[in-house]
């Protein structure tokens, strides 16, 4: 197994937390963030796409909830606490909390309180 560059090793937990992925700089898209080391492209970070779902056209928060449920493999209410936290982070990354009453809608879908949703968001910051 090849050695992992120290920068890649350092950013991997952050990339995973953001539900992003590392890609080869040669495979980077225009909206990826390419990181350089000593002037040379080392790795690119591909953030989760917020363009794939246009909430206004696809049902707003409900559509985002359905997408996250599919991605995490089932009913949001049945997820473990850790997976519910991940769901909230995915929803935040996709803009779900830009909608009015979204915290209440997300809380109901997860089977938690609105306060819990805010706690999940605050812990991630």
Write a three-state SS string for the chain: CCCCCHHHHHHHHHHHHCCCEEECHHHCCCCCEEEEECCEEEEEEECCCCCCCCHHHHCHHHHHHHHHHHHHCCCHHHCCHHHHHHHHHHHHHCCHHHCCCHHHHHHHHHCCCHHHHHHHHHHCC
> Could you read off the pLDDT of 34-85 as tens digits, one per residue?
999 999 999 999 887 644 444 444 468 999 999 999 999 889 999 999 999 9
- Confidence at 29, pLDDT banded by 50, 70, 90: confident
């Amino acid at each position: 197994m090849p050695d992992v560059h120290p920068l890649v090793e350092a950013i991997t937990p952050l990339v995973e937390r953001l539900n992003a992925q590392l890609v080869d700089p040669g495979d980077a898209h225009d909206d990826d963030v390419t990181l350089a080391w000593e002037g040379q492209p080392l790795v690119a970070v591909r953030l989760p796409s917020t363009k794939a779902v246009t909430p206004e056209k696809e049902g707003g928060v409900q559509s985002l909830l359905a997408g996250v449920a599919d991605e995490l493999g089932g009913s949001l209410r049945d997820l473990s606490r850790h997976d519910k936290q991940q769901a909230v982070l995915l929803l935040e990354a996709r803009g779900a909390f830009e909608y009015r009453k979204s915290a209440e809608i997300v809380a109901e879908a997860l089977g938690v309180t609105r306060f819990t949703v805010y706690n999940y968001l605050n812990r991630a910051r």
